[in-house]
Amino acid sequence: MQRFVSIWFKHLTTDWFTLRRPDLRDIAFVLAAPQHGRMVVTAANPIAEAQGITEGMVVADARAIFPSLEVLDDKPELTIALLRLLAEWCLRYTPISAIDPSDGLVLNSSGCTHLWGGEEPYLKEILVRLRNKGYHARAAMADTIGTAWAVARFGQVKAIIPPGEQATALLPLPPAALRIEPAMVQRLHKLGLYRIGHIINMPQSVLRRRFGPDLLLRLSQALGKEEEALEPIRPVLPYQERLPCLEPIVTATGLEIALKKLLDVLCLRLQQEGKGLRAAAFMGYRVDGKLERIEIGTNRASHHSEHIFKLFEQKIAQIEPALGIELFILEADKVEELSPLQETLWAENGGLGATEVAELLDRLAGKWGENCIHRYLPAEHYWPERSIKRASSLLEKPGIPWRTARPRPIRLLAKPEAITVTAPIPDYPPMLFRYQGKLHPIKKADGPERIAHEWWLEGGEHRDYYEVEDEEGQRYWLFRSGHYDAEKNNKWFIHGFFA
């Protein structure tokens, strides 16, 4: 035999607003949302309702009834979010708790009530707790969801319907208690059927012909003749592990052992679910109430406990245990899917996809930050400073091939440095140049290679690059900025060194 509890929150959203803003407790206010260009009341608090303001009323009409009415903007999705939270909270009373849109919860409390000393204390406990929180809640318990629902909303006498007495409990209730559509309720009312008792004994064929199968279904569900499925909420278990300690931990070795234990458990779970973590935090609650926290991140999702331990190990020194840490928590903040198939593929190739390389980079990034690691890809620019770009990820492949048509120096100065040259003929390489106080007579030269600014990016003079070799066989990359002009002294620069 099953027992169900239905909880009805009559003023769910307004109660929530009142909780957030205690000043709303004693005034009439409504929540409103735009609908067809008008502001329509979506919820009214008990005080406003006492003034005759109901859901679905236009705000202007409501203001006409009660001029000092406070109107707040409704938040869409708030109801469902609140119900979900409340359903999760209700998991303390039963393992099966479900949302009953749009204003209630259904709990399957079969076999749970004895833990609270019976059904009455059980229901009372739930209601008292909810009311103490500030919610207007009503609840009922019965053998079927339908009856519990009906009694919670329309019941007058008692909230707990003894097993097998659904029919008696339903008799005095209005047809609306059967969870049927308002249009059908109106039709029943029109025909003078104001009580469920009026229809409960009618022949089924008659009811089906007049009102369709829906009414019959609801009726038999409420009476327990038809099974009704419940869709319980499944709370997402956070990727978190806890380790309480009998004695406060003070030493680094102790911290490491705690971390290792937590990591093993967490990584096992991640592995079983085919996931890997991208970011994790290790926290220690100190005896004096302070919280110590270290964080790590990885380049690729990983559930390799040794690797993650190494990342944390670099930061363990940052934890200050002081008088000792009594509770450790390991939390994976960011978890991603990990494809095991791909992993084996990468392991075979080695290369940039190798897990070991990613792990090495994680360790380096953990110690000095992400910014110390660079990888370059060719960019579609001739201007030397723009011809390479930073790769955004470890696995990004070059979109265009590397250019090798023109010689490029192996060492490039971050900024070209000015040099003094002697250039005999226009557009010829210089005869000698002076760089850092040393004179370099030029023996061989190639060039010029003219590289112009990309005008759509940046303006400026073009550069005429020469590859030159001096007496000693040292090779340089020089350029003249702009056209040769005898009158204005052309500026020459050194930009790189060839191998």
Partner 1 sequence: MHSLKDKIAVIAQLQQDILLLEGFKPPANGIGVDVGLEPIKDAFPNAVFPTAAVHEFLSTSIEQGAATAGFVGGILGKLMQQEGVCIWISSTQMLFPPALKTFGIAPHRIIFIKLNRERDILWAMEEALKCEKLAAVVAELQEINLTASRRLQLAVEKSRVTGFILRHQPRSLGNTSCVSRWRITPISSSLDDDMPGVGFPRWKVELLKIRNGRPGTWQMEWSAKQFHIISERRAAPLQELLLKRG
CB of 399 to partner 1, least distance (A): 10
Nearer to partner 1, 230 or 354 (CB): 354
Among 158, 242, 293, 444, binds partner 1 (CB under 8 A): 444
Is residue 445 part of the contact set for partner 1 (CB under 8 A)? Answer: yes
DSSP string, 271-328: HHTTEEEEEEEEEEEETTS-EEEEEEEEEEEE--HHHHHHHHHTTGGG---TT-EEEE
Between residue 454 and residue 493, which ones bind partner 1 under the rule CB under 8 A?
467-469, 471-475
Nearer to partner 1, 254 or 407 (CB): 407
How distant, in Å, are the alpha carbons of 41, 87, 233, 423, 437 from that of 440?
86, 82, 80, 13, 10
What character string, x for contact with partner 1 (CB under 8 A) and - otherwise, covers 82-121? ----------------------------------------
Segment interacting with partner 1, rule: CB under 8 A, options 168-176, 193-201, 253-261, 442-450 = 442-450
Nearer to partner 1, 56 or 473 (CB): 473
Q: What angle do CA 241, 246, 250 make, to 5 degrees?
A: 85
Q: What angle do CA 239, 241, 246 make, to 5 degrees?
A: 170
Identity of residue 404: T
Nearer to partner 1, 201 or 349 (CB): 349
Token output for 323: 């008088």
Is residue 398 part of the contact set for partner 1 (CB under 8 A)? Answer: yes
Is residue 63 part of the contact set for partner 1 (CB under 8 A)? Answer: no
Is 356 strand, coil or helix? Answer: helix
Between residue 359 and residue 388, which ones bind partner 1 under the rule CB under 8 A?
359-361, 363-364, 367-368, 372-378, 384, 387-388
Is residue 133 part of the contact set for partner 1 (CB under 8 A)? Answer: no
How distant, in Å, are the alpha carbons of 40, 107, 265, 337, 366 from that of 333?
41, 31, 16, 14, 16
Cα-to-chain-centroid distance, residue 314 = 28
- Do residues 55 and 42 touch, judged by C-beta distance below 8 A? yes
Is residue 414 part of the contact set for partner 1 (CB under 8 A)? Answer: yes
Among 354, 431, 432, 451, binds partner 1 (CB under 8 A): 354
- What gap in Å lies between CA 296 and CA 305, rounded to an integer? 13
Nearer to partner 1, 220 or 387 (CB): 387
Among 158, 189, 225, 403, binds partner 1 (CB under 8 A): 403
Nearer to partner 1, 208 or 389 (CB): 389
Is residue 499 part of the contact set for partner 1 (CB under 8 A)? Answer: yes
CB of 463 to partner 1, least distance (A): 15
Cα-to-chain-centroid distance, residue 275 = 16
The beta-strand segments (E) located in 165-210 are none
What character string, x for contact with partner 1 (CB under 8 A) and - otherwise, covers 252-291? ----------------------------------------
Is residue 393 part of the contact set for partner 1 (CB under 8 A)? Answer: no
Among 71, 167, 185, 357, binds partner 1 (CB under 8 A): 357
Among 76, 238, 274, 350, binds partner 1 (CB under 8 A): 350
DSSP string, 83-99: HHHHHHHGGGT-SEEEE
Among 316, 329, 352, 431, binds partner 1 (CB under 8 A): 352
Nearer to partner 1, 216 or 431 (CB): 431
How distant, in Å, are the alpha carbons of 140, 155, 189, 430 from that of 169?
11, 8, 20, 107
Between residue 330 and residue 349, which ones bind partner 1 under the rule CB under 8 A?
349
CB environment 272-298: b (16+ within 10 A), e (fewer): eeebbbbebebbbbbeeeeebebebeb
Is residue 306 part of the contact set for partner 1 (CB under 8 A)? Answer: no
Residue located via tokens 């010029």: 448
In sequence order, the 6+-apart residues with CB closer than 8 A to the CB of 341 are none
* H or E segment and range at residue 390: strand 388-390
Is residue 428 part of the contact set for partner 1 (CB under 8 A)? Answer: no
Nearer to partner 1, 203 or 473 (CB): 473
Among 65, 171, 410, 439, binds partner 1 (CB under 8 A): 410
Identity of residue 94: T
Pairing of strands 491-497, 411-422: antiparallel
Residues that contact partner 1, how many (by CB under 8 A): 54
Between residue 140 and residue 199, which ones bind partner 1 under the rule CB under 8 A?
none
**Contact positions vs partner 1 (CB under 8 A):** 349-352, 354, 356-357, 359-361, 363-364, 367-368, 372-378, 384, 387-388, 391, 397-398, 402-404, 407-414, 443-446, 467-469, 471-475, 496-499
